[in-house]
Amino acid sequence: MATIRDVAKLSGFSVATVSRVINKNGYVNPETERAIVTAMKTLNYKPSAAARSLAGKSSSTIALMIPDILNPFFPELARAIEDAANEYGYTVMLCNSDNNLQKEMNYIDVLISKKVDGLIVASYSLQPEHILNLKQKSVPVVVVDNHFDSLPIMAFISKNREGGAIAAKHLLEQGCRKIGHICGPMNIQASRDRSVGYEDVCGRLHWFVPSLIVQSDFHVDGGYKAMVELLSRHPDIDGVFAGNDLMAVGAMKALYHKGKRVPDDVKLIGFDGIGVNTVVPELSTIAQPIYEIGTMAMKRLVQMIQGEAVQEHSHELDVKLVVKQSTVIDEAESESA
């Protein structure tokens, strides 16, 4: 591996000058530059990232911490963030935490020791103190898919409450007269907000009873079980809003097994905008602007890394109702189950 000194020697200039052309800063004669670039090429020189970051320069690496890589929502987010990161010249280190506080703290230590330039975090275990602590160590952090009220923490999250309300309204508009809700874990802010949205709309209707809400865990199997429970409590249910798409898929499977047809007997809507692609019949959902969350988070992170004084607070992004087959009876294609 050629070093900066080799390049200096071959080109006949000093390491400082070579460093200048690498970093494109400081004055350097065009001819000199050309000579140096040539030397770098012939030596196939690649600066050592380790050395640069040791010498005080950034590592050009950011980390992304997610709770569950098996939930398609996060790969999509990761994809968006990676694309954006590449654009800014960063590589991303992906950390899957299993939503386990211990693992997360451990990762954070490792990441700091690796001198990552910044951190994008999707976590439901980390407390505000942890984030603030990081900031104190001057590690830029931006939170996604979660937020901390009125704390100076940069966060990007969808309008979950509004989304929950939109979902409920949509079911109502499709003629549902008794709508159940499978909600996600209560320790997740986004999950709570979605439920509140549902209650905003359904809570005061004459048919509403608390037992129409079943709590679950954001996973397919959990959704299945919750749907079975819901059906046993309220066999006459004709609409279901699941707190995320994965649970909606589980619910769909349960309905299928119990002989209920979707959307004919029961209309079903999810949240996230991911499963849409892989279920039959396709799932109506409240789509989050996943890609946008990713790019905005990355953009802000870069600003923070570069020391710009950005206002740190929560940003709420618009969600979008995506109507598919699971909530609409469409004569044109209702040929089979």
Partner DNA sequence: ATGAAAGCGCTAACAA
Partner DNA sequence: TTGTTAGCGCTTTCAT
As to burial, measured by CB atoms within 10 angstroms (0-12 exposed, 13-18 middle, 19+ buried), residue 330 is exposed
Write down the number of H helices and E strands in the chain: 12, 12
Q: Is the dihedral of CA 281, 283, 289, 293 positive or negative?
A: negative
> Which stretches of the chain are DSSP H helices?
4-11, 15-23, 30-43, 49-54, 73-87, 101-113, 128-136, 160-173, 189-202, 220-233, 245-257, 290-305
Residue 225 interacting partner from DNA, its own copies, none (CB closer than 5 to 8 Å by kind): its own copies
CB of 93 to its own copies, least distance (A): 5
Residue 14 interacting partner from DNA, its own copies, none (CB closer than 5 to 8 Å by kind): DNA
Q: For binding to DNA (CB under 7 A), which residues are involved?
A: 1, 3-5, 12-17, 19-20, 22-23, 25-29, 31-33, 45, 47-48, 51-52, 54-57
Q: Does 323 bind its own copies (CB under 8 A)?
A: no
Q: Does 267 bind its own copies (CB under 8 A)?
A: no
- DSSP assignment letter at 226: H
Of 75, 172, 303, 312, the residue at the interface with its own copies (CB under 8 A) is: 75
As to burial, measured by CB atoms within 10 angstroms (0-12 exposed, 13-18 middle, 19+ buried), residue 229 is middle
> Each residue of 30-41: b (16+ CB within 10 Å) or e?
eebbebbbebbe
Q: Does 41 bind its own copies (CB under 8 A)?
A: no
- Please report, as a single letter, which amino acid is at residue 277: N
CB of 191 to DNA, least distance (A): 40
Of 282, 292, 312, 316, the residue at the interface with its own copies (CB under 8 A) is: 282
Q: Does 146 bind its own copies (CB under 8 A)?
A: no
- DSSP assignment letter at 96: E
Select from 143-151, 161-169, 280-288, 307-315 the region that touches its own copies (CB under 8 A).
Answer: 280-288
Residue 32 interacting partner from DNA, its own copies, none (CB closer than 5 to 8 Å by kind): DNA
Nearer to its own copies, 113 or 232 (CB): 113
CB of 115 to its own copies, least distance (A): 5
CB of 32 to DNA, least distance (A): 3
d(CA 119, CA 293): 15
Q: Is the dihedral of CA 294, 193, 186, 260 positive or negative?
A: negative
Residue 27 interacting partner from DNA, its own copies, none (CB closer than 5 to 8 Å by kind): DNA
Q: Does 76 bind its own copies (CB under 8 A)?
A: yes
Q: Which of residues 18-37 bind its own copies (CB under 8 A)?
A: none
Size of the site for its own copies (CB under 8 A): 58
Q: Does 221 bind its own copies (CB under 8 A)?
A: yes
Q: First and final CA of the chain: distance in angstroms? A: 63
